[in-house]
Amino acid sequence: MDQIKVLFLTNYYPPEKYPRAIQISHLVQYLRTKISLEVLTFPSEKTGDSSLLSFTPLNNVLYAKKSKISMFLEKSRGYFLKKELLLDLGYFLHFDLFKKAKNLIEPSGINVIVTFGQPMSTHIAGLKLKKKFPHLKWIAHFSDPWVDNNFNNFNWWLKFINQHYQDRVFGAANELIFTSQETIDLVMRPYPPSISSKASCLPHCFNPSLYPNSKKQDKIFQIRYLGNFYGDRQPDSLFKALKIIPKRALKNIQIEFVGSGTKNTIKSYGLERNVITKSSIDYLKSLKLMKESDLLLIIDAPAKISPFLPSKLIDYIGANKPIFGITPQGTSQKLITEMGFLTAPPNNPKEISEKLFQMIKKMQLTNGLSIPQKIRDKYSIDVVGQKMLDLLTK
């Protein structure tokens, strides 16, 4: 296309502090200097994370108005009933995005739209826009698998309706973007080449200009996990692993959890001397803490194989600090191994203790480790942003 005008459709955008919002913001900040780009989202109903606005101008952002039924369902009780009946909890919001977007496309000369999930129902807005405006180029971006996400626990009805819409979206979209090759292999397995040929891998990215030049101020070996715990993603196995490691080996070592959602109290494991927690902090402060760490932790839920690429892992790569992964086989495990670091499965405290102890000793002997530059380059905003630009303009 000679002169493209792009519209991003997303339920989340800064100052909302969701990984999805931050990752879209990174792409926008790169692309807005190259092409005409606007973002359609919803106004933030909370204060959010004001630090995001220091690098996320909102002068190209348009807002859809939530309908009364959307607001009612958001604020109503009956979470589990809604979860069992609706395609996803953001389902009715796609009507609001579609209503606003259809009135923008012709007056603004928009010829490319990109829909972002989660929630996956955002793609239904893209489906309706593509039907109404067949000339549009439509890219559907998936942060996670849709039907094949093993954490969804769909009943028969939700399995049916989500599969129906996934098939329609895959068929109608011009391009399909996933964040890992493992996700593409999983999701595209039952589809013919006419569909699978649309799939491209576009990983999350980090912006190196957002990381401060800060250094550690103490001699304690600082291990950090930054993020929240929920569902099956819990630190239990790490706590059990720490009980196996001899106490003398943990001298001058501190493990810090920055976030919320820990089910188990550290006191119940007798780990108060080595493990501390802090409440959630803003995004830029989290990048500072990453830079000031000796070792960063990835902790994932148990699974046979995990196709997920957490944006936190890419933020860690931006901090250029060693990473230890408590993660199943799959995307994160392969990437951490490729960087030269160690991983262990989430449900094996003994292996976690052995690998973590091995990692700490290696770092103490080598006076620290860093991430290979070729990997940092691969996930930088300039490289990922250019790849997104190529997909938009091809």
pLDDT digits (tens, 9 = 90+) for 40-75: 999 987 788 999 999 999 999 999 999 888 888 777
Instruction: Assess contact for 273 and 299: CB atoms under 8 A.
Output: no
- Looking at the fold, whether 313 and 358 belong to one and the same domain comes out as yes
- Tell me what the pLDDT averaged over the chain comes to: 92
Backbone φ and ψ for 92, nearest 5 degrees, come out as: -70, -15
Q: Mark whether 42 and 95 lie in a shared domain.
A: yes
Per-residue pLDDT at 1: 47
pLDDT at 263: 59
Query: In which domain, by residue range, is 242 found?
Result: 209-374
Residue 99 and residue 63 in contact, taking contact as beta carbons nearer than 8 Å: no
If asked whether residues 53 and 172 sit together in one domain, one would say yes
Place of tokens 């101008």: 57
80 Cβ contact list (under 8 Å, min separation 6): none
Task: Please give the tally of structural domains in the chain.
Answer: 2
Q: What end-to-end distance do the CA atoms of the chain give, in Å?
A: 7
- pLDDT tens per residue, range 157-182: 889 999 999 999 999 999 999 999 99
What band does 247 get if pLDDT is binned at 50, 70 and 90? confident
191 and 45 in a common domain:
yes
Task: Give me the pLDDT at residue 246, please.
Answer: 85
List the CATH number of the domain containing 105: 3.40.50.2000
- Residue 182 and residue 252 in one domain: no
pLDDT computed for residue 281 by the predictor:
94
Q: Both 173 and 229 in a single domain?
A: no
- Distance between CA 121 and CA 95 in Å, rounded? 9
pLDDT value, residue 107: 93
Domain match, 174 and 294 both: no
Mark whether 61 and 127 lie in a shared domain.
Answer: yes
Both 122 and 213 in one domain: the answer is no
Give the C-alpha separation, 265 to 52, whole Å: 31
Q: What is the band of 264 on the pLDDT scale with cuts at 50, 70, 90? A: low
Average pLDDT for 22-28: 97
Same domain, 110 and 176: yes
**What mean pLDDT do residues 208-213 have?**
94
Let me know whether 178 and 95 are in one domain.
Answer: yes
162 with 16, same domain: the answer is: yes
pTM comes to: 0.93
